[in-house]
């Protein structure tokens, strides 16, 4: 099985983001995660030449911050009896 590679139309825009940051993508835009280390990921964002990417306007971590992570179970997981004791 071959993996599809994104169609690169120009050099990537290199950004650093905290792990878990949501990035909304429009038409003909692809993102590759190249590295992840200590809660940060190196992303390469590819966009058509006709599209301008403004990092200050499009990438706002403060607006995407949901606060500290909360331990949540997967929908199919069940809680262990030991974790219900107080």
What are the C-alpha distances in Å from 80 to residues 53, 59, 69, 71?
46, 39, 20, 14
Report the SS3 class of residue 23. coil
pLDDT digits 0-9 by tens, 18-44: 666 666 677 777 777 777 777 777 777
- pLDDT above 70 (res 86): no
| More confident call, 17 vs 69 | 17
What confidence category does residue 70 fall into, taking pLDDT thresholds of 50, 70 and 90? very low
- pLDDT above 50 (res 45): yes
Within 1-86, residue ranges assigned H as helices are 55-58, 61-64, 81-84
What pTM did the predictor assign? 0.39
pLDDT at 33: 75
Domain segments of the chain as ranges: 1-62
| Helices and strands counted in the chain (H then E) | 3, 3
């Amino acid at each position: 099985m071959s993996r599809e590679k994104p169609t690169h139309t120009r050099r990537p825009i290199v950004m650093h983001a905290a792990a878990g940051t949501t990035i909304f993508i429009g038409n003909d835009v692809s993102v590759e995660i190249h590295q992840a280390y200590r809660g940060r990921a190196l992303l390469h964002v590819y966009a058509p030449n006709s599209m301008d990417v403004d990092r200050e306007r499009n990438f706002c971590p403060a607006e995407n911050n949901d606060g500290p992570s909360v331990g949540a179970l997967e929908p199919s997981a069940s809680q262990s009896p030991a974790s219900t004791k107080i």
